[in-house]
Amino acid sequence: MAGSNPNAKPMNLTLKVWRQKNRDAQGNIVDYQVRDISPDMSFLEMLDVLNEDLLRQGQEPVAFDHDCREGICGSCNLFINGRAHGPEPGTTTCQLHMRKFSDGDTITIEPWRAEAFPVNKDLSVDRSAFDRIIQAGGYVSVNTGGVPDANEIPIPKSIADQAFDAATCIGCGACVAACKNASAMLFVSAKVSQLALLPQGQVERKTRVENMIAQMDKEGFGACTNIGSCAAECPVGISLENIAILNREFLAAKATSNNLA
């Protein structure tokens, strides 16, 4: 099998997992032992093994968010050993492999923490605040009718690249989870700068940043203090420069938009 190491020895691990019955319940850390974990497993597969064990024992499995398991969807969201998506840079939880851990390790697994991200159950977190921020302005107007020709609107390569880099945000929320202030600025800035850089985003350029920031504040996210934890933990490498772009987009919009409120 490609990529697997036939000499890798299975591992026994101690997991400290946050268990919480529902949104209103008091949660706590529960210790579990998992045995014979292959180093080729992903972190989520290791949790699957734990859940199969728990089901066999007639216990409630650990709830955690996941979907594509290939680093694209932004569903997985675990705070592993004190780091968002674990200690590996540029990696989502689903792409984190057990070979990054050693036999006998104790691993602490917690949900994202933020006032705006309430815990649904165990490690599963409600991130619908992000959806509401996108609904407030993270879109562009498109004319109905025939499909336009590709490359009809000229966009310099460097601008297209910069916009694309911002567009790679998968909305996982690691930026909020890692931030000392639980600020969502990196997430918001990725969408605002992506659309502000492109000609298609010009129609809503001012209202977009005004509305998205208003919604972000309303959801109860904190304010950025330029610490840089968000960009350091971002699995797709969204740069802090986007926050600077967001700040000047906001300043320019507030100074020149026709919105008097």
- Provide the binding-site residues for another protein, judged by CB under 8 A: 16, 18, 27, 29, 79, 81-83, 87, 108, 110, 113-116, 178, 180-183, 185, 213-214, 216-217, 220-229, 232-233, 240-241, 243-251, 254, 259-261
SS3 90: coil
For residues 172 and 233, what is the distance between their CA atoms, to the nearest angstrom? 11
- The CA distances from residue 52 to 15, 34, 35, 47, in Å, are 15, 10, 12, 9
Of 189, 169, 79, the closest CA to residue 125 belongs to 79
Angle between helices 157-167 and 185-197 (to 10 degrees): 150
C-beta of 30: minimal distance to another protein in Å? 11
The answer to whether 118 and 151 have CB atoms below 8 angstroms apart is: no
Interacting residues of 260 by C-beta distance below 8 A, sequence separation 6+ = none
Please give the Cα distance from 134 to 112 (Å, whole number): 20
Q: Which amino acid is at 49?
A: V
Beta carbon nearer to another protein, 69 or 83 = 83
- In the complex, the smallest distance separating the C-beta of residue 117 from another protein, rounded to whole angstroms, is 8
Of the pair 79, 130, the CB lying nearest another protein is at 79
Q: Smallest distance from the beta carbon of 71 to another protein, in angstroms?
A: 19
CA distance 254 to 261: 10
Instruction: Look at the block and give the residue holding tokens 């991130």.
Output: 127
Considering the complex, state which of residue 65 and residue 249 has its C-beta at the smaller distance from another protein: 249
When the beta carbons of 97 and 206 are compared against another protein, the nearer one is 206
Query: Least CB distance from residue 234 to another protein, whole Å?
Result: 10
Measure the CA angle with vertex 193, ends 142 and 240; round to 5°: 155
Locus of tokens 């605040």: 129
Closest distance between another protein and the C-beta of residue 105, in Å?
Answer: 13
Quote the tokens at residue 121. Answer: 């159950």
Q: CB-wise, 190 or 240, nearer to another protein?
A: 240
Kindly tell me which of 199 and 220 has the beta carbon lying closer to another protein: 220
Which residue's CB is nearer to another protein, number 19 or number 69? Answer: 19
Q: Quote the least distance from Cβ 1 to another protein, whole Å.
A: 33
Min CB(31)–another protein separation in Å: 12
